[in-house]
């Protein structure tokens, strides 16, 4: 069938139509679909559920959806291709469907209804995810914030307890940061913090987590022993020496390490690393020390 004929059954832009849902939502199948789509607040889960539903009710073999920074795919992408837009409260989602066979007029109407059903739970899920990330991440450095650090360390300790895996933390702060702020201003200070956050993101392994827990104070949760934490410290110090901004203004960091001991609390683990940090400062800064107690 000609592509143009396959797309004549519906317009290129469909708007969220509550009245359409009101008139159709008494259908038990549609009620079940709506319930499925609202069961999760994870955008990918919502979209995967949508794809499965569309594949069950229509000859659709694949779907691509783009919405703001999100991109979702489901199924296989070959054969006939048609494009749609969904608009809700000024937000636009762009969909591309791959068809196993051309749509009949009744199927085109069903497509319109089903894709209208997905838009609200999908927007809700993306908004919830963004709000959750804002609650867990520091906007300046894009690292986890203090609350996220506390929760992550609790989970890491629980995992290490179950599996007897080594766990360490590294506490870092920027030496003489207050003086840098006073001399060069807070905007310069924010630039330093932002670049240091990027440096930590590149220095840590995929299994580690970095957090900004205070003004110029950072913590890395290391899934490994003291040796693994020391290697991380060496990478951080080496990376700092290669950044022109840090070298020009003598931006330095001191680091303290502690390895988790069986049955030790998160507070005790942090306090030991903090003591090691101050030993590093007493040793001349721009170095690391480990607590061996």
pLDDT of residue 67: 86
Distance CA(5)–CA(174), nearest Å, equals 65
Q: Which of 103, 130, 157 is the last residue of a domain?
A: 130
Alpha carbon 200 to its chain centroid, in Å, reads: 16
184 and 246 assigned to the same domain? yes
Q: Are residues 70 and 165 in the same domain?
A: no
Characterize the bridge pairing of strands 252-259 and 217-222: unpaired
CA distances from 122 to 57, 91, 108, 118 (A): 19, 11, 21, 6
Q: Do residues 107 and 59 make contact, with C-beta atoms less than 8 angstroms apart? A: yes
Q: Examine residue 23 and state whether it is found in any structural domain, yes or no.
A: no
Joined together, the tokens standing for residue 119 give: 């838009």
Residues 286, 160 share a domain: yes
* Tokens 């020009």, located at residue: 248
Question: Is residue 102 located within the same domain as residue 176?
Answer: no
* CB-based contact 277:286 (threshold 8 Å): no
Q: Residue 30 has what pLDDT?
A: 64
d(CA 75, CA 98): 9
Q: Which residue has the tokens 């009101």?
A: 22
Residues 209, 260, single domain; the answer is yes
Q: Is residue 13 part of a domain?
A: no
H or E element that contains 101: none
- Distance CA(98)–CA(61), nearest Å, equals 6
Shared domain check, 154 and 283: yes
Query: What's the helix, strand, coil split of the chain in %, to 5?
Result: 50, 25, 25
Q: Sign of torsion, CA 15 18 23 29?
A: positive
- Domain identity same for 157 and 125: no
Number of compact structural domains in the chain? 2
**Per-residue pLDDT at 250:** 86
Domain that holds residue 57: 30-130
Same domain, residue pair 82 and 162? no
| Residue 111 located in a structural domain | yes
Whether residue 234 is found in the same domain as residue 259? yes
Does 82 share its domain with 177? no
Q: What is the pLDDT along the chain (293 residues), one digit of tens a residue?
A: 333 333 333 333 444 444 444 444 445 466 666 676 667 678 888 888 889 888 988 999 999 999 888 899 999 988 899 999 888 778 888 999 999 999 999 999 989 888 887 778 888 888 877 776 667 889 899 999 999 999 999 999 999 999 999 999 999 999 888 888 888 998 999 999 999 999 999 999 999 999 999 999 999 999 999 999 999 999 999 999 998 989 888 889 999 999 999 999 999 999 999 999 999 999 999 999 999 88
pLDDT of residue 198: 95
In a domain, 41, yes or no: yes
* 164 and 194 co-located in one domain: yes
User: Has residue 120 been placed in a domain?
Assistant: yes
User: Rounded to an integer, what distance in angstroms lies between the CA atom of residue 78 and that of residue 85?
Assistant: 20
177 domain residue, yes or no: yes
DSSP SS3 for 165: coil
**Same domain assignment for residues 126 and 152:** no
Assigned domain for 59 exists: yes
- Which pTM does this prediction carry? 0.61
Among residues 130, 165, 195, which one ends one of the domains? 130
Q: Which residues are catalytically annotated?
A: 216
Q: Is residue 87 part of a domain?
A: yes
Q: Of 130, 164, 180, at which residue does a domain stop?
A: 130
CATH number of the domain residue 194 falls in: 3.30.70.270
């Amino acid at each position: 069938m000609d592509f143009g004929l396959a797309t004549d059954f519906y317009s290129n832009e469909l708007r969220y139509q509550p009245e359409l849902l009101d008139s159709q939502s008494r259908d038990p199948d549609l009620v079940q679909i709506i319930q499925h789509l609202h069961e999760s607040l994870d955008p990918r889960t919502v979209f995967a559920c949508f794809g499965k539903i569309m594949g069950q009710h229509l000859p659709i073999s694949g779907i691509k959806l783009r919405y703001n920074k999100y991109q979702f795919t489901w199924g296989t992408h070959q054969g006939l291709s048609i494009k749609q837009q969904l608009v809700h409260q000024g937000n636009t989602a762009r969909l591309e469907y791959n068809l196993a066979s051309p749509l009949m007029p009744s199927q085109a109407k069903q497509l319109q209804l089903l894709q209208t059903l997905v838009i609200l739970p999908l927007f809700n899920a993306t908004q919830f995810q963004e709000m959750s990330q804002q609650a867990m991440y520091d906007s300046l450095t894009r690292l986890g914030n203090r609350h996220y650090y506390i929760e992550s360390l609790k989970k890491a300790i629980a995992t290490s307890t179950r599996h007897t895996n080594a766990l360490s933390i590294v506490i870092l702060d920027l030496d003489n940061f207050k003086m840098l702020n006073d001399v060069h201003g807070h905007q310069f200070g924010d630039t330093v913090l932002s670049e240091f956050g990027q440096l930590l993101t590149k220095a840590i392994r995929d299994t580690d987590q970095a957090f900004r827990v205070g003004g110029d104070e950072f913590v890395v949760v290391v899934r490994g022993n003291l040796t693994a934490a020391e290697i991380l410290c060496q990478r951080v110090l080496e990376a700092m020496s290669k950044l022109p901004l840090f070298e020009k203004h003598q931006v330095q960091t001191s680091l303290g390490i502690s390895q988790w001991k069986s049955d030790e609390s998160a507070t005790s683990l942090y306090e030991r690393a903090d003591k090691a940090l101050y030993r590093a400062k007493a040793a001349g800064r721009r170095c690391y020390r480990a607590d061996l107690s």
